């Protein structure tokens, strides 16, 4: 195992007037054995950051260490890493056993040790009965497990996963997430996992690094990121459905937006131009009262154990999550919403950053 240290890591493509900075001074300390998920939308720089750790992209500025060793100028093969890609990249003419063993054979590992490592990896991945099959005889999920097995047998200091579940259907993705969690518990090896799927990030990560346009927006546990998002981007990206965000003006115990004024039980951290955030599960439909926020129901989605109620609050689209056991309002109803002051988030309208309470 090994720790990973990112110190003001930046990446720039091109020079002068044509320079394009795609990674902006990312710093993070990753401990031995942590499973870290790098999450963000397409084009945010998450895969580029992973490839810089792998040595497949040069670092423009900053420093990357794996263990106690700075690896900026060290070739990928010398970094003691194993990488699993979105594309399985299996040799179609080789058996599962040979696909897993190939890298070890090239490295001239003794035959007995290769056998021991491949059998151990196959047992961990429940692939022992498939070692004599070729990739075309396997399902997509099984092929991905072979790709992971090929990385496991190398016994590296660090595993790097670049969206390895993207080619799987929803059911297989869920199953493979469980297998990955078991795998990490078994091996305890430091891992970086890249995904654009925030559900995947929340379920897999011990800590998550949220990227946006090359900038690290937040680095923390899933609970920290969900409960105290550092910016409006994190608030809107993490969570399904996303947090409701309304920009307006605060004056004492009143929040004005869209020509309406909402009464607040507790004054926000400051007055002035702010963004108010409320997660859908933290807004409750209540009987009409003077302090409730007027909410006009437009659409209701039935999702089995819950309902999503969409409507307008202060002229903005607003979502409320309701348990299936609660009787929902009807489309067209104007109802009242209430939320606990502790569940309301406040952000600076100019910087989009969280306002400390």
Question: Which residue bears the tokens 């115990």?
Answer: 253
Q: Name the DSSP class of 189.
A: -
CB atoms within 10 A of CB 174: 14
Q: What per-residue confidence (pLDDT) applies to 236?
A: 95
Please tell me the distance from the alpha carbon of residue 274 to that of residue 12, in angstroms, as a whole number. Answer: 33
CB atoms within 10 A of CB 248: 20
Positive or negative, the CA dihedral 40, 44, 48, 52 is negative
Contact predicate 34/66, CB 8 Å: no
Six token digits for residue 140: 């997509």
CATH superfamily name and code, 241-348: Nucleic acid-binding proteins (2.40.50.140)
Please tell me the distance from the alpha carbon of residue 124 to that of residue 149, in angstroms, as a whole number. Answer: 9
Please tell me the distance from the alpha carbon of residue 192 to that of residue 92, in angstroms, as a whole number. Answer: 27
Please tell me the distance from the alpha carbon of residue 48 to that of residue 44, in angstroms, as a whole number. Answer: 9
DSSP sequence for 263-308: E-SS--SS-EEEEEEE-GGG-EEES--TTSEEEEEEEEEE-SSEEE
Question: Which residue bears the tokens 């990753």?
Answer: 30
Query: By three-state DSSP, how is residue 216 classified?
Result: strand
SS (H, E, C) 147-179: HHHHHHCCCCCEEEEECCCCCCCHHHHHHHHHH
Please tell me the distance from the alpha carbon of residue 148 to that of residue 164, in angstroms, as a whole number. Answer: 9
Strand partners, 84: 161
Positive or negative, the CA dihedral 31, 32, 34, 39 is positive
* Phi, psi angle pair for 267, to nearest 5°: -65, 145
- Start-to-end CA span in the chain (Å): 39
Q: What per-residue confidence (pLDDT) applies to 166?
A: 82
Pairing of strands 293-302, 4-13: unpaired
Q: Name the DSSP class of 76.
A: G
Q: What per-residue confidence (pLDDT) applies to 290?
A: 63
Q: Which residues contact 108 (CB under 8 A, 6 or more apart)?
A: none
Six token digits for residue 227: 């409960």
Element (H, E) at 187: helix 170-187
Q: Which CATH number fits domain 1-80+158-165+189-229: 3.30.70.20, 3.50.50.60, 3.40.50.300, 3.60.150.10?
A: 3.40.50.300
Contact predicate 318/312, CB 8 Å: yes
* Phi, psi angle pair for 121, to nearest 5°: -65, -40
Query: By three-state DSSP, how is residue 229 classified?
Result: coil
Task: Return residue ranges of the chain for CATH 3.40.50.300.
Answer: 1-80+158-165+189-229
Q: What per-residue confidence (pLDDT) applies to 18?
A: 85
* Phi, psi angle pair for 336, to nearest 5°: -110, 140
The pLDDT averaged over each successive group of 10 residues in the chain (357 residues) is 93 89 96 96 94 95 95 93 86 94 92 93 88 92 88 91 84 82 88 94 95 97 96 95 96 93 91 96 80 88 92 94 89 91 95 92
Task: Return residue ranges of the chain for CATH 2.40.50.140.
Answer: 241-348
CA distances from 353 to 184, 210, 235, 346 (A): 34, 14, 10, 9
Please tell me the distance from the alpha carbon of residue 312 to that of residue 337, in angstroms, as a whole number. Answer: 11
């Amino acid at each position: 195992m090994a720790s990973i240290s990112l110190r003001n890591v930046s990446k720039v493509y091109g020079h002068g007037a044509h320079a394009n900075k795609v990674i902006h001074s990312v710093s993070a300390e990753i401990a031995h054995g942590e499973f870290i998920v790098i999450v963000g939308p397409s084009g945010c720089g998450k895969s580029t950051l992973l490839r810089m750790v792998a040595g497949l992209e040069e670092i423009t500025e900053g420093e990357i260490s794996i263990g106690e060793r700075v690896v900026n100028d060290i070739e990928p093969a010398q970094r003691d890493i194993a990488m699993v890609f979105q594309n399985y990249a299996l040799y179609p003419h080789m058996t599962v056993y040979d696909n897993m063993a190939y890298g070890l054979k090239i490295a001239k590992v003794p035959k007995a040790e290769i056998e021991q490592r491949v059998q151990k990896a196959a047992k961990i991945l429940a692939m022992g009965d498939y070692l004599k099959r070729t990739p075309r005889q396997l399902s997509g999920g099984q092929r991905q497990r072979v790709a992971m097995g090929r990385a496991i047998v190398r016994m590296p200091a660090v595993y790097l996963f670049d969206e390895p579940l993207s080619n799987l259907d929803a059911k297989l993705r869920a199953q493979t997430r469980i297998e990955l969690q078991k795998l990490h518990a078994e091996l305890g090896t430091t891992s970086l996992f890249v995904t654009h799927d925030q559900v995947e990030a929340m379920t897999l990560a011990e800590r998550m690094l949220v990227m946006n346009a090359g900038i690290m927006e937040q680095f923390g546990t899933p609970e920290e990121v969900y409960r105290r998002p550092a910016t409006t981007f994190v608030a809107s990206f993490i969570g399904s459905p996303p947090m409701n965000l309304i920009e307006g003006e605060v004056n004492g115990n009143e929040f004005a937006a869209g020509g309406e004024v909402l009464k607040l039980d507790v004054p926000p951290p400051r007055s002035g131009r702010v963004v108010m955030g409320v997660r859908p599960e933290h807004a409750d439909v209540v009987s009409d009262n003077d302090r409730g926020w007027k909410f006009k129901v437009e659409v209701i989605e039935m999702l089995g154990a819950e309902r999503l109620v969409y409507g307008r609050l202060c002229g903005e689209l607003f979502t409320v999550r309701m348990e299936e056991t609660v009787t929902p309002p009807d489309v067209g109803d104007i109802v009242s919403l209430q939320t606990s002051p502790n569940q309301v988030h406040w952000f600076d309208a100019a910087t989009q950053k969280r306002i400390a309470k």
